Amino acid sequence: MGSWLERSGLLTPLEGKTIVEWSQDDWFTSATKLTFLDVKPDKPSAHPAITMQYRGRLGAGHRQYTFVLQHSQLGQVEGEGWVAPESIVQRYWAINDRERRSGF
């Protein structure tokens, strides 16, 4: 369980699952699905589920990584991430996106 932070500052509850596979040369693949929870029992969530398929590289002993992913809503995405003791932070930008969407 966690929260999705909107640009407006509103938090939306969600749950998800991530599966990660590692190769011997520090490359990883990952699949994630995020499902937004209903805030009001009589009204379904306004957010559709998000699925992401990652490929990236995180060297042993490093906390920063780079990745590409296929995002169910944004299409092809590139980004970088940082692993902290209690969280993972990512910065990304959508490729070939006319709206030039990005996020943090």
Torsion (CA) 38, 94, 68, 3 in degrees, nearest 10: -20
Looking at residue 61, its pLDDT comes to 83
Residue 47 has pLDDT above 90, yes or no: no
Q: φ, ψ for residue 42 (rounded to 5)?
A: -90, 0
Predicted TM-score (pTM) of the model is: 0.75
Q: How many helices (H) and strands (E) does the chain have?
A: 0, 8
Residue 54 has pLDDT above 90, yes or no: yes
Number of folded domains that form the chain: 1
Looking at residue 60, its pLDDT comes to 77
What value does the mean pLDDT of the chain take? 85
Q: Which domain range does residue 11 map to?
A: 2-103
Looking at per-residue confidence, does 17 or 8 come out higher? 17
